[in-house]
Amino acid sequence: MNDERLAQARAWMRQDPDHETRDELAAVITRAASGDEAAAADLDDRFGARLAFGTAGLRGALGAGSNRMNRVLVAQAASGFAAYLREKSHGRTPTVVIGYDGRRNSRVFATDSAELFAGAGLRAILLPRLLPTPVLAFAVRHLGADAGVMVTASHNPPNDNGYKVYLGGADQGSQIVAPADAEIAAHIQRVADADDVSALPRSADYETAGDDVVEAYVAATAAISPAPAGASDLRWVYTAMHGVGWETLSKIVSAAGYPQPMVVEEQLTPDATFRTVSFPNPEEPGAMDLSFARARRVQADFIIANDPDADRLAVAIPDASSESGWRRLTGNEVGLLLGARAARAAAGTPGASLACSLVSSPGLGAVAAHHGLDFHETLTGFKWISRAPGIVFGFEEALGYLVNPETVRDKDGISAAVAVLGLAAEAHERGKSLADLLSELGDTYGHFASGQVSVRVQDLSVIGSVMLSLRTIPPRQLGGHAIASAEDLLHADEGQPSGDVLRYRIADGSRIIVRPSGTEPKLKVYIDATADSAERASATVAELEAAVRVLLEERS
């Protein structure tokens, strides 16, 4: 066993305030020191790298070590972020708001952060209880704070947690982007190099926000789409996916005048084990099965689901052709429904724009053009979407929607749910359903279909190898469709989104986009097609999906 690695692990253990991760690490050290090769490899995995702080903050598995989420790593992050905020404050006392969800250690990490921020001389405000991520994003602007921190891993597996950072002021409560991420990371590294977080100053002199912050969010969100007269007849099902969305959503539904949903009881309250799902993500197969079963029993009109921190939204509708009798709408379908709603309201407003990530449906551009609005295509992530000039609505296909940019500059699954309720109620008054609204979209803006191929890997190097292969030898056709152009967005033209993204265009207007996931060990391929009918567009997507799977198997 490497003596330097053992010394590194022992130094980490000495400064760890958490007895659980201390004991965990002590056991690994003992086995590694005695020659256990598996334990030595475990230590290398824990300390051979460091969870990188970037524009998504921190996210990773819970456990001891620099490559895990734990109280030492969070203390380093909080202290480094405090130093960054002091540096940018020009003599003022910076204010930072801290929120947390129901995952393991979320409250502990949030309280540690509040104590360290206060100990560093900042005004620290801890939200009153576990709450959705959008409430934290709202609170940054509502309280005029310089920054916000949300302790959450969103829809990641149960043993993960994370640390998401927002900036106030000119950033208007958006998530951080470059160069702030690198500057914060440098401050964090300086704290880590000092090697002992137990010496960092702490203070219990932080504030706990009152319920007035939550009530302000409730009022602002209910105002997005007050219920029309016919809303009382809506029959809908809701699941919180074992997360923190229900309490807040329920209050907003009442305030807006909609009937309360029939709920999935097994998933309604926060549960850090997420016991009924393999992955607490509405996109994952099986995650909405309990919702489908509940909706069948009560003969619901539609289903609304939030992910565990309620910043994402899923919608499902009856579908007789499906084995379950229900179909989850794609993020693109919901995005176009909500985008058309926003465009109708903003038509004629100078400078108003719609925005989506480059992997989301190009149909939003058609909606914007139809209503005379500007359109912006950005890199993936709401840190970019939220910064689009003149934005009145933004979305990304991964179930994220920004419908109320004046109050929340991030994806918000609760405000999006209220907007969907409004659409459903208005359709109901006309004797229509959400499925009918989708058909009307195609008739008005053109027919768009989308699909996705997602490959989860154990070894991240596989993703790099596949991307290198596609860059070196680009495919010439997919599913009998000749590729008209291939773009490598690592070398994008000035003014265009740039990143580790490959985009292939087909002569009929279809496109295929390949990129590594930013939050999970996945390679993602996004497929979009447009045609003169919904059936023809869907058929093209199916052909391209099959061809993409063959291509990835060949290149893996």
Residues annotated as part of the active site: 154
Which positions ≥6 away from 402 have C-beta within 8 Å?
A: 382, 385, 386, 391, 393, 394, 395, 408, 409, 410, 411, 412
> Are 51 and 66 spatial neighbours (Cβ–Cβ below 8 Å)?
yes
Residue 390 is classified by DSSP as T
Which residues, listed in sequence order, are joined to residue 311 by a DSSP beta bridge? none
Burial class (CB in 10 A: 0-12, 13-18, 19+), 443: exposed
Q: How far apart are CA 434 and CA 421, in angstroms?
A: 10
Strand blocks (E) in 344-480: 353-357, 374-378, 391-396, 400-402, 447-456, 477-478
Residue 124 is classified by DSSP as E
Query: What is residue 261's three-state secondary structure?
Result: coil
Q: How far apart are CA 267 and CA 1, in angstroms?
A: 45
Which positions ≥6 away from 554 have C-beta within 8 Å?
A: none
Q: How far apart are CA 3 and CA 33, in angstroms?
A: 9
The string of DSSP letters for 179-229 reads THHHHHHHHHHHHHHH--GGGS---S--EE--HHHHHHHHHHHHTTS---G
Element (H, E) at 162: strand 160-167
- Residue owning tokens 């003599």: 91
Residue in 74, 85, 55 with CA at minimum distance from that of residue 179: 55
Q: Indicate if the alpha-carbon torsion angle 24, 25, 28, 30 is positive or negative.
A: negative
